Amino acid sequence: MSQPAGIVEVITGSMFCGKTEELIRRLRRASIAKQKVQVFKPVIDDRYAFFKVKSHSGMDYEAVPVSSSKELLEKLDPEATVVGVDEAQFFDDGIVDVVNQLADRGLRVIVTGLDTDFRGEPFGCMPVMTAKADKVDKLTAICVICGEPATRTQRLVGGKPARYDEPIVVVGAAEMYEARCRRCHCVPKE
């Protein structure tokens, strides 16, 4: 009997667009279909729950926190047929190879991650991940300023847009980030 074909599905977009919610929806459907599901998240993402991926709307799913793509492989359940990877932009660049290895073994791999950082620049491994994926869904949020579709993540510092030279990785939620459209997104250079 031949090995089943694997697939890499990427769910991307700005913060608050529903990436993790869509991941959880797909994982729950796989569980209902009696598929063996395992989910990983980066250790750095401890916003809501350490051993769960959790959407801003409150949906959650059990997850294994890992500090690297190598650790993900070490903790992979050999019985898993569906693997979820949340917040891939926080992983090392090796995550792209790991995800592709899993798909090459016949697994369905569902990856979420921000496509751009708060500056509007490509974020971490996500440009390569989306280029190598079999399926990509780019979701949009709602701009908090004008109500149009939002494709950008606005970081706020003291209620004002963060400057371009601020650190790239600052884990947070609604207290420091907003979804914004291209027109309302602002990143001061000075």
Enzyme catalytic residues: 87
Which residue pairs from 165-174 have beta carbons closer than 8 angstroms and sit at least 24 positions apart in sequence?
Answer: 166/118, 168/117, 168/118, 168/119, 168/123, 169/44, 169/90, 171/44, 171/45, 171/46, 171/47, 172/47, 173/15, 173/47, 173/56, 174/16, 174/56
- Which helix H or strand E contains 9, and what residues bound it? strand 7-13
Angle subtended at Cα 41 by Cα 177 and Cα 33, rounded to the nearest 5 degrees = 115
